Amino acid sequence: MNGNGLSTAGLQARIAKNWQPNNYLTNMSMAFLQEEGDFVAPSIFPICPVGLSSSYYYTFSKADLARDNVARKPAFGKVQPALMGQTDSTYKCEVDQVIVGVDQIDALNYQRSRAPGVADPRRAKVRFATEQLKLHLDLIFAQNFFTPAAWNNVWTGVPANPNPQLNQFLRFNDANFDPVNFFDARMKDIKQSGRRTPNRLALGVDAYNALKNHPDIVERVKYTGSTANPAVVTTQALAAILQIEQVKVLESTYNAGGIGVEDMQFVCATDGALLCYATDNAAIDEPSAGYIFTWDMLGNGQHVALDQFEGEKGTHSEFIEGLMSTDMKKTSDDLAIYFDQCV
């Protein structure tokens, strides 16, 4: 049940009565969703559409998968069946909702003004609803997964004399920190324990700035530029230096204040970092540090639905409704390392 009283069961009942979202608004919303921008959650944890709002997913035994189970066949006999254990875990996609109003009288003024972008006054409202849903996902990711409390494998930055036996490292803004060898070693750790090479490095803003300005990183790119195009350290350059598929800077922001208060903050800890493997092909038998299970409410492959409904008679108002049903899960501790206090 969400704050507006719409439960998963209630939405299922609406769908059973042949409720359909407004396809025009939903398609407009999906176009906005495809503009990744500063939003981060789906770029770290892949979206896994599911047909049921709650069900099971399986974690297969890594020990069984990695063991050599092949044996010489005895004459006139057979080998023992190999053990392939699994653990059943559950997800439950709860429905989240956002509603935003449209004043039809004001909308008429906007339309008649012929200003760019106001041919359809619902467009700004759809964008607002869509970005609210994206922001909500980012906040869930930040609060539950971009934190040392979420992971078994955590390294902590210290100002001096780090002890690797205690999972300590020199902070990224220390000139004596060796970024390439450090990340090489941590990627090897994940490969050895999780059987996948990490392909995502999510960096808080301060952690990223410290890495891109680190003398060792700057040294590796300084001869790649020219007078007209001087060398700069970008996320792509950093990814190439560290030999990782994607470096993502967690720049999403939000207002932490209540109504009438502005308190702009970064969604994710600015001094944190997460190195992980995340699949590009979500599937029941494909390992990933985490998944965003999304209930495909309408069976059309879209995890967001938007609708429009009229306000009370005489108010000359209408409302845009955005719906999303998700459950974000950590699915493998072996495929991630969190770095705390990087600066």
Q: At what angle do helices 235-242 and 179-194 cross, to 10 degrees?
A: 70
Q: What is the pLDDT of residue 306?
A: 84
Tens digits of residue pLDDT in 309-333: 888 888 788 888 989 999 999 999 9
Number of compact structural domains in the chain: 2
Q: What is the pLDDT of residue 34?
A: 41
**All residues at 6 or more sequence positions from 250 whose CB lies less than 8 Å from its CB, including other chains:** 40, 142, 146, 202, 203, 204, 205, 266, 267, 268
Are 67 and 126 found together in one domain? no
Alpha carbon separation from 236 to 13, 72, 228 (Å, rounded): 47, 49, 20
Of the candidates 119, 110, 117, 125, which has an alpha carbon nearest to the alpha carbon of residue 307? Answer: 125
Are 73 and 127 found together in one domain? no
Does any domain span residue 3?
A: no
Q: Cα separation of 165 and 167, whole Å?
A: 6
Q: What is the pLDDT of residue 33?
A: 46
Does any domain span residue 218?
A: yes
Q: What is the pLDDT of residue 316?
A: 80
Tens digits of residue pLDDT in 15-48: 555 555 555 455 555 554 444 567 888 889 998 8
Does any domain span residue 1?
A: no
Are 73 and 174 found together in one domain? no
Tens digits of residue pLDDT in 285-317: 788 999 999 988 767 777 788 888 888 888 788
Q: What is the pLDDT of residue 270?
A: 97
Are 74 and 204 found together in one domain? no
CB 239 within 8 A of CB 309: no
Are 80 and 155 found together in one domain? no
Q: Cα separation of 321 and 303, whole Å?
A: 14
Stretches where the chain sits below pLDDT 70 are: 1-37, 109-121, 225-228, 230, 298
Q: Which residue has the tokens 């039809």?
A: 104
Are 31 and 167 found together in one domain? yes
Q: What is the pLDDT of residue 3?
A: 46
Q: What is the pLDDT of residue 13?
A: 61
What pTM was estimated for this model as a whole?
A: 0.82
Q: Cα separation of 223 and 57, whole Å?
A: 49
Domain hosting residue 63, numbered range: 58-85
Q: What is the CATH number of the domain that holds 188?
A: 3.90.1690.10
Does any domain span residue 29?
A: yes
